[in-house]
Amino acid sequence: MEKEYGKLTADQFHELLQFLPELLSMLRGMNAHLASTPAAKFDSVMPGDYGLYSNVYELSFIDHLSLVTVALNRHEEVHDMATSHDPQEAVLELIRKRDDVEDKPHHPEFDKEVVMVLVYSLGRTIQSMATYGRSISSLLQDVRENNNQDSLLKAIRMDRAVIGCPTAMTLIARAQIRDNKAFFKNLRSALAGPGNKQQAGLDLLRYAMLILREIGIKDIPEAELEALIVDKLGVYPKNQPNARKNIRAHYQWSRKLPTI
C-alpha cells in the first residue's frame, strides 16, 4: 500500500488523530478518579514506597513506553503488531476493537502499585505531548542538554513529582545556592499545574505536528501542509485568516525538536 505520509495514509493519519480526544479524556478521567479516591482506600491499594516514580521521566519516551508495555504484560502483542505487514494498520485495528481487548494480569516482576504509577506517568507524558508538543522525557532532555529552565517548568506543570528528578534537583540546587528568587517564583507558578492557556484547543494540531516529525516528514510544501491539516485531518479551523502562515509556524517549531 502506498502511503502519502511516510508510514501513514491520509485516512490512517485522520483515524489516529480522531482517537486522541477519547484517549486524553480517559487519561483526565483516570487522574480525577485517583485524586478523588478516599484516602483510606487509596492507601490500602498503594501502601508502598513509589515516591520516586518520576525518575522514569529520565528515560527516553520510547524506553518509558516500553517499560509500561512490559509492566502491563502486553509486550507480545506489541511485538506482533510491530512485525506485521502494516504495523500502523495493526495499531488502528486494535484501537477499533479496544472494547473487545481482554484483561490480563500484569507482569509478575512488577508490583501492582508500580504498574499503576507507571501507567499514571505515561498518561501525564501523553498529556504533555498534547499541551507542549513533546513528552516530559523530551523536556527533561532539553534541561540536561541546554540548561533550559523553561522546559523544566513545563515538565513540572505536567507532573509536580518531576521536582524530585535528578535533572530537576540539579537546577533547583543551583538556584538555591545562587539565591535565585526569580527562579523560585516561576517554580511556584509551575507547581500550580497547567493553566487554561496551556490546555487550549490545539491538542490535535500539536499531535499532528509531532506525528509528522516522528514519521520523518521533514519538509512539505506550504499549500500541501495546509490542505493536510485543514482539509484532510480537520485539526485547524477552515477559512481562518493567516491559516497557512500559522500552520507553517507550528510546523517549523515542531521540526526543531530533537525527540518525542
Task: Give the start-to-end residue ranges of the domains of the chain.
Answer: 1-18+201-260, 19-190
So what's the pLDDT on residue 1?
Answer: 60
Q: Enumerate the H helices of 37-165 as residue ranges.
A: 39-45, 61-71, 75-82, 87-96, 112-132, 136-146, 149-158
**How large a percentage of the chain has pLDDT more than 70?**
97
Cβ atoms 132, 108 nearer than 8 A: no
So what's the pLDDT on residue 194?
Answer: 84
Q: For residue 203, what are the CA distances in angstroms to 17, 134, 137, 177, 197?
A: 10, 11, 18, 38, 12
Residue with cell 511556584: 188
Condensed to tens digits (0 to 9), the pLDDT of residues 37-85 reads: 999 999 998 988 788 899 999 999 999 999 999 999 999 999 999 999 9
Three-state DSSP class for 8?
strand
- Which amino acid appears at position 247 of this protein? I
So what's the pLDDT on residue 48?
Answer: 80
The CA distance from 86 to 92, in Å, is 10
The CA distance from 231 to 252, in Å, is 20
Cβ atoms 81, 189 nearer than 8 A: no
So what's the pLDDT on residue 197?
Answer: 59
Break the chain down into helix, strand, coil percent, rounded to 5. Answer: 70, 0, 30
So what's the pLDDT on residue 49?
Answer: 79
The CA distance from 125 to 133, in Å, is 10
Mean pLDDT of 152-169: 97
The CA distance from 168 to 160, in Å, is 11
So what's the pLDDT on residue 53?
Answer: 94
> How far does Cα 20 stand from its chain's mean position?
11
Condensed to tens digits (0 to 9), the pLDDT of residues 202-237 reads: 789 999 999 999 888 878 999 999 999 999 999 999
Dihedral sign of CA atoms 15, 17, 21, 24 in order:
positive
Three-state DSSP class for 35?
helix
> How far does Cα 33 stand from its chain's mean position?
20
